[in-house]
């Protein structure tokens, strides 16, 4: 060996080899004896040059490899084939192992004679550990995916071909891996979905946005359907190139059926509650209306008998009229409960309104209730409907009286305030007029107080009311932009406060609406009027009122009859009911406008709300008196004549 070293010493390549520290580069003799040693070999094999030069390179192999003759095989392969390369475990000086990549090349002299081998070894322990960890991780994920049976988890290539299949997919889709691998995932969709391009759109969405999610019907192998929740995630390589999709599907058929059953049960409960509410409403309203009808029927019956005898019947007529007006008031309460009565909002002086109600309150509440008012010297006007406000205060006062069977004091209190911390959160941040009705009665416990505003709830006993009182007042307050609050304590009375917005400075108090508020309004010339209503009784009454006013009246029982009669003769005005079968009053008015432009039409309705296209038409609410009908007819006739005159003047110009 000493004869070889002088030949290599001074070789300029030796400096290069010795500077390499990431590779073990050394020479072997033809029989495998180590002849040189570089810094890289010393670094990760652990031997100094003097410790290893002259020893056989097999010391770097494991006992198992030595017993198997691997070192000799490596040299023989390099000699015979010109190169040997392999990976495997190698030993360091301290006995520890490292994973090495080994290359052995033969070295020949210029004459082609083999003079030794060049051996290059690289320590790949860290890389192998990383690869092994990756392999174990992939194996764990494979086992995880294969262990999931409640989800179908599988891979798709970029065009939707199935490339993997787990037991969950097999369980509820019915295909084995052999049957489905290589097939397109669109086969799980219905024919209609495939024709609509839903599978391709799902992949396009996942590719574009990174994720697609949806629910819908999917098809099993046997053709049956199941309700599925589907997510598709795009998979990209390190360069961002799309290499496929991960698809996760869950069978939600049972959950969907449960939800549908729950919704059906809720609907059943809702229907039951609704029927119960209708029953309570019907019972209370029927009681009140029966009382009113008893007065109307009894009074008119007495009037008929007395009239036949020539006696004065005015008292009975007055009784019937009063009962009918109370029925109209009850209907208003029902609409207020539903938040559907038509309000005429304006500035209201609450102190003046309560003062003007003094006689009404005394008459209604009786002598057992002592009324006391508490108002500041100045109180801004509230923004409300004065008639409905009066009705609400009267309702609350009656409740206060009923809470004091032995009599007592009722306080009506007014103040201006802002929404306070402990006041209802449904009020906006603005100033309010708070009108409170305070009694010294029995008060309410927490359970009763909790249900006090509940529709149909009443403590007055069966047949003594609808239970809509506080609901009506609350509905009125909310329509005005306010609210209703109740505070009570057993044995210490109750305070019910009605919160109404303070009127803005710009909102003037509304004046009368013209002819309807002027009892001396000029009724004008007699007209030819077509009255339309599908109810014979109402039609007869309306026609009778108009005829007594001196008008000539034709009657039609439907919109179609009315249009036919208009083709046969001329009329000055049409008065029609709104709610009629086949053709409503609004539709009739539109048809008249097309055929006879300019012919005035008045709509009579018992509804609180009408379609938006009705807002510009003259409207008279049921029930109405003859004077109200007369003023409406006269007002509309005057407006019509004014339009005709303006049109004529325009033509003259």
Model pTM score: 0.41
The better pLDDT of the pair 156, 525 is held by 156
- Kindly provide the residue ranges of all beta strands, DSSP E only, lying in 196-294, ordered along the sequence: 211-219, 225-236, 242-251
The better pLDDT of the pair 320, 243 is held by 243
Highest mean pLDDT among 172-181, 420-429, 513-522: 172-181
Given a cut of 60, is residue 619 above it in pLDDT? yes
Mean pLDDT of the chain: 80
For domain 5-126, give the CATH superfamily.
Answer: PAS domain (3.30.450.20)
Q: Average pLDDT, stretch 287-316?
A: 74
- Residue 405: the pLDDT is 81
* Contact between residue 122 and residue 22 where contact means Cβ atoms under 8 Å apart: yes
- Residue 451: the pLDDT is 66
Sign of CA dihedral 180, 182, 185, 189: negative
Per DSSP, what are the bridge partners of residue 482? none
Residue 381: DSSP 8-state: P
Helix (H) or strand (E) holding 266: helix 253-308
- Residue 454: the pLDDT is 59
* CB environment 336-363: b (16+ within 10 A), e (fewer): bbeeebebebbbbbbbebbeebeeebee
Given a cut of 80, is residue 119 above it in pLDDT? yes
CB atoms within 10 A of CB 582: 9
- Residue 15: the pLDDT is 63
Q: Average pLDDT, stretch 117-121?
A: 90
How is domain 516-652 classified at the CATH fold level?
Rossmann fold (3.40.50)
Distance CA 242, CA 226 (A): 30
Q: Average pLDDT, stretch 203-208?
A: 92
Distance CA 374, CA 388 (A): 21
* Percent over 90 (pLDDT), the chain: 25
280-294, 475-489, 523-537: least confidently modelled range: 280-294
- Residue 408: the pLDDT is 87
- Residue 350: the pLDDT is 93
Q: Average pLDDT, stretch 219-240?
A: 88
Angle between helices 585-595 and 559-568 (to 10 degrees): 20
pLDDT band for position 72 (50/70/90)? very high
The better pLDDT of the pair 550, 329 is held by 550
The better pLDDT of the pair 621, 215 is held by 215
* CATH number of the 148-251 domain: 3.30.450.20
Domain 338-501 has CATH 3.30.565.10: yes
**Cβ contacts of 291-294, under 8 Å, gap ≥ 24:** 292/323, 292/324, 292/326, 292/327, 292/330, 293/323, 293/327
Whole-angstrom CA distances from 612 to 335, 615, 636 are 19, 6, 20
The torsion of the CA quartet 623, 624, 625, 629, rounded to 10 degrees, works out to -150
pLDDT band for position 4 (50/70/90)? very low
SS3 state at 565: helix
Whole-angstrom CA distances from 271 to 172, 267, 268, 276, 652 are 37, 6, 5, 8, 65
The better pLDDT of the pair 369, 2 is held by 369
Given a cut of 70, is residue 139 above it in pLDDT? no
Helix (H) or strand (E) holding 553: strand 552-556
Q: Average pLDDT, stretch 30-50?
A: 89
Given a cut of 80, is residue 585 above it in pLDDT? yes
- Residue 1: the pLDDT is 42
31-35, 77-81, 459-463: least confidently modelled range: 459-463
* Contact between residue 18 and residue 41 where contact means Cβ atoms under 8 Å apart: no
pLDDT tens, 480-494?
Answer: 888 888 888 888 889
Whole-angstrom CA distances from 609 to 228, 578, 614 are 45, 11, 9
């Amino acid at each position: 060996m000493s004869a070889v070293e002088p030949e290599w010493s001074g070789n300029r390549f030796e400096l290069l080899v010795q500077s390499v520290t990431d590779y073990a580069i050394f020479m072997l003799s033809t029989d495998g004896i180590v002849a040189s040693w570089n810094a890289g070999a010393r670094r990760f094999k652990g031997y100094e040059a003097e410790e290893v030069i002259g020893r056989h390179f097999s010391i770097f192999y494991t006992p198992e490899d030595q017993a198997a003759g691997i070192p000799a095989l490596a040299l023989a392969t390099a000699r015979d084939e010109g190169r040997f390369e392999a990976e495997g475990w190698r030993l360091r000086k301290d006995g520890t192992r490292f994973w090495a990549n080994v290359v052995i090349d033969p070295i020949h002299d210029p004459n082609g004679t083999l003079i030794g081998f060049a051996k290059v070894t690289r320590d790949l322990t860290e890389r192998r550990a990383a690869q092994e960890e990756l392999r174990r991780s992939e194996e764990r994920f494979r086992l995880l995916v294969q262990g999931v049976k409640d989800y179908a988890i599988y891979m798709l290539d970029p065009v939707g071909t199935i490339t993997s299949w787990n037991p969950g997919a097999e369980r509820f889709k019915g295909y084995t891996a052999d049957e489905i691998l290589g097939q397109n995932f669109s086969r799980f969709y219905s024919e209609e979905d495939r024709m609509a391009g839903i599978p391709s759109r799902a992949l396009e969405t996942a590719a574009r946005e990174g994720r697609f999610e949806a629910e819908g019907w999917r098809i099993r192998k046997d053709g049956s359907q199941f309700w599925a929740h589907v997510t598709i995630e795009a998979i990209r390589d390190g360069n961002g190139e799309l290499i496929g999709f991960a698809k996760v599907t869950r069978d939600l058929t049972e959950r969907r059926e449960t939800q549908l059953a729950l919704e059906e049960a809720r609907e059943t409960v809702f229907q039951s509650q609704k029927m119960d509410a209708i029953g309570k409403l019907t019972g209370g309203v029927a009681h009140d209306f029966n009382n009113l009808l008893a007065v109307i029927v009894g009074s008119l019956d007495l009037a008929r008998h007395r009239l036949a005898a020539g006696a004065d019947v005015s008292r009975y007529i007055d009784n019937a009229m009063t009962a009918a007006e109370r029925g109209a008031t009850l209907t208003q309460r029902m609409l207020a409960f539903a938040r559907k009565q038509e309000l005429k909002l304006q500035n209201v002086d609450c102190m003046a309104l309560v003062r003007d109600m003094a006689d009404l309150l005394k008459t209604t509440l009786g002598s057992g209730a002592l009324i006391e008012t508490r108002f500041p010297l100045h109180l801004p006007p509230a923004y409300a409907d004065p008639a409905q406000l009066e009705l609400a205060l009267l309702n609350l006062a009656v409740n206060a009286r009923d809470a004091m069977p032995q009599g007592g004091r009722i306080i009506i209190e007014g103040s201006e305030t802002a929404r306070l911390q402990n006041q209802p959160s449904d009020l906006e941040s603005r100033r309010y007029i708070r009108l409170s009705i305070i009694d010294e009665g029995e008060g309410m416990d927490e359970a009763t107080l909790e249900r006090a505003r509940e529709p149909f709830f009443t403590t007055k006993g069966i047949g003594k009311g609808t239970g809509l009182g506080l609901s009506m007042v609350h509905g009125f307050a909310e329509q005005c932009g306010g609210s209703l609050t109740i505070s009570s304590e057993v044995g210490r009375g109750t305070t019910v406060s009605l919160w109404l917005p303070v009127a803005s400075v710009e909102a003037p108090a509304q004046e009368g609406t013209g002819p309807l508020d002027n009892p001396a309004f000029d009724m004008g010339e007699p007209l030819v009027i077509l009255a339309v209503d599908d109810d014979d009784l109402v039609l007869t009454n309306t026609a009778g009122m108009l005829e007594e006013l001196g008008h000539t009246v034709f009657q039609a029982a439907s919109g179609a009859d009315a249009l036919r009669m208009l083709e046969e003769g001329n009329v000055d005005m049409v008065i029609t009911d709104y709610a009629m079968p086949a053709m409503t009053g609004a539709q009739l008015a539109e048809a008249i406008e097309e055929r006879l432009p300019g012919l005035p039409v008045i709509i009579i309705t018992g509804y609180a709300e009408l379609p938006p296209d009705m807002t510009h038409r003259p409207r008279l609410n049921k029930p109405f008196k003859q004077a109200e009908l007369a003023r409406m007819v006269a007002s509309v006739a005057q407006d019509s004549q004014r339009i005709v005159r303006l049109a004529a003047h325009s033509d003259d110009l």
